[in-house]
Amino acid sequence: MDEFSRISYWTKEGQAKSLLEATGVKLAIGDDAAIVSGAVRQDEGCSYEMLYTVDTMVEDIHFNTQTMQLDHIGYKALASNLSDIAAMGGIALHALIAISVPGHYTEEHIKQIYHGIYQCANQYEVAIVGGDTTASPHSLVLTITVIGQVEAGTALRRSGAKPGDLIVTTGIAGRSAAGLHLLLHPEFEPQLAAKHVQSLKQAHQMPQPQLDQGRLLRSLGGCHALNDVSDGLASEAVEIAEASGVAFVLDEQLLPVSEGLSQYGSCTKQSLLDWMLYGGEDYILLGTIDPQCYEQVKEQFAQRHMQIYAIGKVEPGKGEVWLERMDSRMAHKQRERIYKRGYNHFT
């Protein structure tokens, strides 16, 4: 069973519709964040909905202390949650920190984790409002809940993609996976310009959630569906395509590559495409846009020095994701079906 089948098996028991309505639930399980009526900040003439999201990072599953400093662990745990709010087009407001700490961590170690959390929180203007600290028999477990809000009825869900839409990303996928590869293989460092070394490592250790990009896509209109890339382009594409009941056709030649990523792929002889499609943890946004709106969106992004790339198009379908690639022997494009698949970062 994949993640969605398992969650639906566990939660099949469910709750009465009347209870969900009475508590103002608009969208429960199945998107980047839950949507609930209500608001923290009230503005004249604008009504809001609340967004809730929670994510856990577990030592030796999601990270280890060989490739991540303790402050990176704190920073990234919050950043990945903020990215879920970005993927709804929302404003992040508050965070709660639950941390379970093995006995060999000192007070100073935990302070460093908190330092990273505060660094990210202050950068993105999110208030840390509470938490819980417990012991853990073995591994560090860090669970962060983020609460935000979005203008009522305008959250960018997974389920709105339409045939004819352009598929867009707001950044370059694969840099986090390349950065991790570099952290695990320092012998390649001398072959890469120092600025690329730093930039790839930072993509893995301190990813930047794209809250501004999410807000802009929401406010400009024409964006029909949005996810953040936590599990790789393939997985996120499948999630949107399935939730929307459409097919995604990604064009390999349109997938953006940075100079650093390209150089690092060459010197390590690793597959760039594997990092892009399956690496994950890039926390860029992947979505679909009405093609009539795209030029204006692109211009608005450019004015703010933000990136946006059209990387394919939406067709009628039932959740399929295709990758269009040039076949060198046949001199025309062929379609390969791609799937969600796990990516084990430490093997």
In angstroms, the CA 288 to CA 69 distance is 35
Q: Output the smallest distance, CB 268 to a copy of itself, in A.
A: 27
Binder among 2, 45, 46, 59 for a copy of itself (CB under 8 A): 59
Interface residues for a copy of itself in 107-166 (CB under 8 A)? 107, 110-111, 113-115, 118, 121-122, 125-139, 141, 143, 145, 147
Contact region with a copy of itself (CB under 8 A), list: 89-97, 211-219, 221-229, 262-270: 89-97
In angstroms, the CA 288 to CA 169 distance is 9
- Does the annotation flag 131 for ligand binding? yes
Q: Output the smallest distance, CB 42 to a copy of itself, in A.
A: 8
Q: Is 2 in the site for a copy of itself (CB under 8 A)?
A: no
Phi and psi at residue 31, to the nearest 5°: -135, -170
Query: 70-83 burial by CB neighbour count: b if 16+ within 10 A, else e?
Result: bbbbbbbbbbbbbb
Find all residues with CB under 8 Å of 233, minimum gap 6, and list them.
169, 173, 250, 255, 276, 277, 286
- Does the annotation flag 281 for ligand binding? yes
DSSP per-residue codes, 182-229? HHH-GGGGGGS-HHHHHHHHHHHHS----HHHHHHHHHHS-EEEEEE-
- Does the annotation flag 114 for ligand binding? yes
Q: Which is nearer to a copy of itself, 29 or 267 (CB)?
A: 29
Q: Which is nearer to a copy of itself, 152 or 220 (CB)?
A: 152
- What SS3 class is residue 32? coil
Q: Which is nearer to a copy of itself, 147 or 240 (CB)?
A: 147
Q: Which is nearer to a copy of itself, 3 or 327 (CB)?
A: 3
Q: Which is nearer to a copy of itself, 65 or 268 (CB)?
A: 65
- Does the annotation flag 170 for ligand binding? no
Q: Whose structure tokens read 């698949």?
A: 341
Q: Is 211 in the site for a copy of itself (CB under 8 A)?
A: no
- Does the annotation flag 158 for ligand binding? yes
